[in-house]
Amino acid sequence: MKVLLIEDEDDIRRVARLSLSRVGGMEVVDAASGVEGVHRAEEESPDAILLDVMMPGLDGPSTLAALRSNPRTASIPVVFLTAKAMPEEKTRLMDLGARGVLTKPFDPVTLPAQLRAALEGR
């Protein structure tokens, strides 16, 4: 499984990348901004996208909208990664068309499993 990880914080991106690849055994491509993420998604056609919500420039929801507006990326399932764990925030993000919402801080040991669960709609 190929996952595109879009996260502006370098260290968090690296930890998540290690978690997904080394614990989850996934193929990981990453991007450090929303704009880069949109390009990478088009280039790499990943099976899923793990998308940070709070980013400078194009933030998570705007990136999602950009992905949805492009037919080549419109159907790739997107799971948000957010520091705001409030139920209303989760609801808001799901309403934007996300497949799931994972919260930060995440446990890298369980992150791949959480991502899989979200993608399977659990």
Per the CB < 8 A criterion, the answer to whether 72 and 45 are in contact is yes
Task: Supply φ then ψ for residue 101, to 5 degrees.
Answer: -130, 120
Instruction: Select from 28-36, 58-66, 68-76, 99-107 the region that touches another protein (CB under 8 A).
Output: 99-107
What is the Cα gyration radius of the chain? 13
Per the CB < 8 A criterion, the answer to whether 115 and 103 are in contact is no
Instruction: Rule CB under 8 A: say whether 94 interacts with another protein.
Output: no
Instruction: Rule CB under 8 A: say whether 108 interacts with another protein.
Output: yes
Fill in the per-residue mask, 3 to 22: x = in contact with another protein (CB under 8 A), - = not in contact: ------x-xx-xxx-xx--x
For residue 21, give the DSSP letter: I
Which residue matches tokens 């959480």?
114
Instruction: Rule CB under 8 A: say whether 113 interacts with another protein.
Output: no
Give the shortest CB-45-to-another protein separation in angstroms.
27
Which residues form the interface with another protein (CB under 8 A)?
9, 11-12, 14-16, 18-19, 22-23, 83, 86-88, 104-109
